[in-house]
Amino acid sequence: MVEIESLKKWIELYGEKVTENKEHLNQLDSDIGDGDHGSNLTRGAAAVKEKVSESEYENLSDFFKDIGMTLVSKVGGASGPLYGSAFISMAKQAKESDDLAVLLEAGLDGIQKRGKAEAGEKTMVDEWIPVVEALKENNLTNKVIEDSLQKTKDMKATKGRASYLGDRSIGHIDPGAQSSAYLFESLLEAGVLNG
């Protein structure tokens, strides 16, 4: 069972990480996309921080829903609806469960329903799938997060803008997987799992 206070800390840490690494995310995105992933997420993170810090939450569902709707309206591009769908899907699941593995699995489901990506297509899903699996087995570590991220390097993109590059997308880390890795690193740092 998770506490809203530690989740707030998680989301705050995530925002900080994204903001600190804005240029890195932009660069990864310039390599195989349109170069604005870091800027877009930084804008979204600032809006989420403002929204979440000024609100009191009585339940998890409202908390996730606020995050999702804020990301959807502020981030834009493809990552806005994808991250937004993850949190909105978690909001729906939070009405029935407060188990983090179950919630994040619902989040993954939301991303896949929206973006129609399967494993191995060089997308954020390639970070989410192994993390959700590890969470279910209670052994999410930074190594799981980092290894999954590095694996996207050798994949060929078949979804999103990077897919037009075909083989030329190989050799680059997927920017969506990188920003997802920050999300899960923050989860460990915030101590949500210890709560």
Partner 1 sequence: MTMKKIMNNPDQIVDEMLDGMAFAYDSIVERIPETKVIHRKHEKNGKVGLVSGGGSGHEPAHAGFVGKGMLSSAVAGQVFTSPTPDQVLEGIKAADEGEGVFLVIKNYTGDVLNFDMAKDLAELEDIEVESVVVDDDIAVEDSTFTAGKRGVAGTVLVHKILGAAAEEGYSLKELKELADKVIANLASIGLALKPATNPEVGKPGFELAADEIEFGIGIHGEPGYRREKLQPSKDLAAELVNQLKKEQNWSAGDSYALLVNGMGATPLMEQFVFMNDVKKLLSEKEGLELSFRKVGDYMTSIDMAGVSVTLLKLEDPKWIEYLNAPVDVIGW
Contacts with partner 1, residue ranges (CB under 8 A): 36, 69, 72-78, 80-82, 84-85, 114-115, 158-161, 163-164, 166
Q: How far is the CB of 176 from partner 1 (least distance, A)?
A: 11
* Least distance CB 147 / partner 1 (angstroms): 25
Q: How far is the CB of 105 from partner 1 (least distance, A)?
A: 20
According to DSSP, residue 155 is labeled P
**Cβ proximity to partner 1, 46 vs 69, nearer residue:** 69
Burial class of residue 100 in the structure, from the number of CB atoms within 10 Å of its CB (0-12 exposed, 13-18 middle, 19+ buried):
buried
- Residue whose pair of structure tokens reads 């297509």 in the numeric block: 121
Backbone angles phi, psi at 117, to 5 degrees: -95, 140
Q: Which is nearer to partner 1, 73 or 139 (CB)?
A: 73
CB nearer to partner 1: give 51 or 161: 161
Beta carbon nearer to partner 1, 6 or 163: 163
Residues 6+ apart with CB under 8 A from 117: 111, 123, 124, 125, 159
In angstroms, what is the minimal distance from the CB of 180 to partner 1?
Answer: 16
Q: How far is the CB of 100 from partner 1 (least distance, A)?
A: 24
Nearest to 178 by CA among 72, 31, 69: 31
- Spatial separation of the C-alpha atoms in residues 138 and 58, rounded to whole Å: 27
* Residue 15 or 44 with smaller CB distance to partner 1: 44
Cβ burial of 47 (10 Å; 0-12, 13-18, 19+) is middle
